[in-house]
Structure 1
């Protein structure tokens, strides 16, 4: 769960706070402990899909609570609230509907908190679209294929090998569709770069090729692409091949 990150927000640490953090880390979550301070929440933006919030005196600060609620909404993150019974009605008024996964009154079992976080990430995993990096120097082909795949996959189109490597320096897609023949950095050269980097070499790569390129494609076999797709495939055939590919992974 290295990519499943949890924010635990508390004003200071206590035995219970430390126990929750430890339990989440024992369940392989990447946990960041922050204070109820706007700067620290801003720094945590885009970090996590789950917040575990130990309620405290800060819930009476309306400006802060409005900021917290809006931030969770922007992050599309859910919260587990922990505190005293009289704190929940106050806090709930600042969170948009659907953002509170659960709430537990003190004293509570740490396992209940972990179970609630598990539910949050189960929903995230179920909703997450597979990501595909589409690399081709033909703008018309890029637009067409992205349109075909966009409903079922998170498609990122780039029009050169250099742009692809820049994207891969930050992101790790579930699949790469790579045009074989491109100027400057061609498909085999891009694949060679991907296979040379430890953090990228396990990304599956399918070459996009036209019929008359088959002989050239054979030269790249040593780079171990995961397969080939003909650029002449229609929408239904392309979707069928990609669906089957992910089902067999």
Structure 2
């Protein structure tokens, strides 16, 4: 792999984790390849050279340590040394020295902290390329300053009475919710339920129903953290821990502090309830969801390194199959001009100037990664081999060597068009959570982009699945009655629903909890305290990478 910039290989058996890592790497200006098994990692490292490998520890068949041993043999044969960083769950924090003794250069703890990942990149990649360090530091500083200015501006929009309360960290709350408007909406949802939820918590407390009590304070902990109510979140976390550890005397002694803080917030936020005159009209919301922009999924951008009869013939065949074909010279300026016209890109790298092919591949790789376009290559074997050794090759779905089987080629492009049509269709998401506040917040955040259906119990979600199949299910892990694990098993055991991707929502990140989630093999998990931007980005990239994976299987 002859690249002038650093490249990272991500190895993880969970698609969502690969998506998040590749996104974080891209934001640091670092390209990546992704594989899901240890054997895939071995094969990739035998064919390519990487500057850093992020290797999951807990994988089926060949785990991280076994894979590392094989990698060391490959590196010895190749006469080089590549740092391999283990990324694992919270358990790894207490075993860092063991991982290093096994040969790992370092350890990343899931969920990945962007700052920790940046430090890893600065430590191991900057040794090879000093420009990466400078670019990363500059980007980080610019992003930090931009975020701080945005948050300050949004905080200034908040009402004066809210700015005067010491019970809320407004900066953290606005950061989590992204805008002052969304923060006020989230606070309103939170405030409207305080009376009911305090009564519920006290009811379970008085009945000594510690299981339900623990679940209620668990939900309170997550939503409190989201709005920046640090002290309330900490008190709820303390009561949750006492419930989990069966230290009921601690709850009996200290629950009053939790209630005092909760009621104090009720007083502070009372203006939100008094001023709330607008109510959501379901009919208007549904009408808004049904409207979606038209998209021409049968448009192809054909980029020609050289003009030839073969290219003309391929274009004509596509046109006869009802595709709109835009033929374009291999020039970045001309490609940018047509960037928004098509989501299927075909590149014929037939150019004696290898530097030109390098520039075009770099450009197409970045464009297709950012816009989730499908990229195919057509040409002579030697040109295709060179193109596939360059930056951008990781986004190529399929290559076609001359002479091209025209019918198979057209059939593939037709399949790619169906994938793009599905990707651009407005997705539907089921959100299942027993906390009505969290459901309302998710509805507010997600509904401008997706069709959102809310369920407060596993049983209700099962009923919903009997009449409608969503594109994704966001599932609370801990719920009374049918919990997330049991619901997922029900869904996966039925042929009609077992292909629905499931991402767990959790308010906890402790070792035992995360292991339970990962052992169930969901398509990913997200913390309930995730910032709005992070949550939306993770879901968007999940759909984008799922479409790209589907294109690789054509």
Could you tell me the TM-score, scaled by structure 2's length?
Answer: 0.25
The alpha carbon displacement at 1:129 in A equals 4.4
The alpha carbon displacement at 1:111 in A equals 1.8
**Aligned match for 2:343, one of 49, 68, 71:** 49
**Aligned match for 1:101, one of 393, 397, 415:** 397
Alignment of 1:188-203 (within 5 A): none
Are 1:2 and 1:28, in contact at CA under 8 Å, matched by a contact in 2?
Answer: no
Matched, 1:130 2:426: yes
Other-structure match for 1:156: 448
> Which digits, 9 at most, give the CA deviation of each residue in 1:11-41, with x for residues without a partner?
4543221221121122222221111001111
3-state secondary structure, aligned to 2:300: strand
3-state secondary structure, aligned to 2:326: strand
When residues 235 and 18 of structure 1 are mapped into structure 2, their CA distance, relative to the original with a 3 A threshold, is: farther
Are 1:80 and 1:117, in contact at CA under 8 Å, matched by a contact in 2?
Answer: no
Within 1, Cα distance between the matches of 2:326 and 2:456?
43
When residues 3 and 108 of structure 1 are mapped into structure 2, their CA distance, relative to the original with a 3 A threshold, is: closer
Other-structure match for 1:214: none
Matched, 1:89 2:385: yes
Within 2, Cα distance between the matches of 1:124 and 1:104?
20
When residues 30 and 245 of structure 1 are mapped into structure 2, their CA distance, relative to the original with a 3 A threshold, is: farther
Alignment of 1:153-192 (within 5 A): 155-156=447-448
Other-structure match for 1:145: 443
Are 2:304 and 2:347, in contact at CA under 8 Å, matched by a contact in 1?
Answer: yes
Within 1, Cα distance between the matches of 2:370 and 2:326?
19
3-state secondary structure, aligned to 1:7: strand
The alpha carbon displacement at 1:52 in A equals 1.3
Are 1:101 and 1:116, in contact at CA under 8 Å, matched by a contact in 2?
Answer: no
Other-structure match for 1:194: none
**Aligned match for 1:119, one of 415, 436, 439:** 415
Name whichever of 38-47 and 112-121 sits farther off: 112-121
Alignment of 1:24-103 (within 5 A): 24-57=318-351, 58-61=353-356, 62-96=358-392, 98-103=394-399
When residues 59 and 49 of structure 1 are mapped into structure 2, their CA distance, relative to the original with a 3 A threshold, is: farther
When residues 105 and 41 of structure 1 are mapped into structure 2, their CA distance, relative to the original with a 3 A threshold, is: same
Within 2, Cα distance between the matches of 1:109 and 1:47?
26
The alpha carbon displacement at 1:235 in A equals 7.2
Are 1:102 and 1:116, in contact at CA under 8 Å, matched by a contact in 2?
Answer: no
The alpha carbon displacement at 1:98 in A equals 4.6
When residues 20 and 146 of structure 1 are mapped into structure 2, their CA distance, relative to the original with a 3 A threshold, is: farther
The alpha carbon displacement at 1:143 in A equals 6.1
Are 1:80 and 1:113, in contact at CA under 8 Å, matched by a contact in 2?
Answer: no
Higher helix share: 2
Instruction: Find the structure with the greater CA-based Rg.
Output: 2
Other-structure match for 2:13: none
The alpha carbon displacement at 1:8 in A equals 0.5
Within 2, Cα distance between the matches of 1:127 and 1:30?
19
The alpha carbon displacement at 1:85 in A equals 1.0
The alpha carbon displacement at 1:68 in A equals 2.7
Are 1:3 and 1:30, in contact at CA under 8 Å, matched by a contact in 2?
Answer: no
3-state secondary structure, aligned to 1:156: coil
- Give the paired residue count: 163
Higher strand share: 1
3-state secondary structure, aligned to 1:8: strand
When residues 4 and 156 of structure 1 are mapped into structure 2, their CA distance, relative to the original with a 3 A threshold, is: farther
The alpha carbon displacement at 1:115 in A equals 2.1
The runs of 5 or more residues in structure 2 that have no matched partner are 1-294, 429-439, 471-554
Within 2, Cα distance between the matches of 1:59 and 1:105?
18
When residues 19 and 146 of structure 1 are mapped into structure 2, their CA distance, relative to the original with a 3 A threshold, is: farther
Could you tell me the TM-score, scaled by structure 1's length?
Answer: 0.51
3-state secondary structure, aligned to 2:410: helix
The runs of 5 or more residues in structure 1 that have no matched partner are 133-141, 158-172, 178-232
When residues 63 and 111 of structure 1 are mapped into structure 2, their CA distance, relative to the original with a 3 A threshold, is: same
When residues 3 and 88 of structure 1 are mapped into structure 2, their CA distance, relative to the original with a 3 A threshold, is: closer
The alpha carbon displacement at 1:119 in A equals 2.8
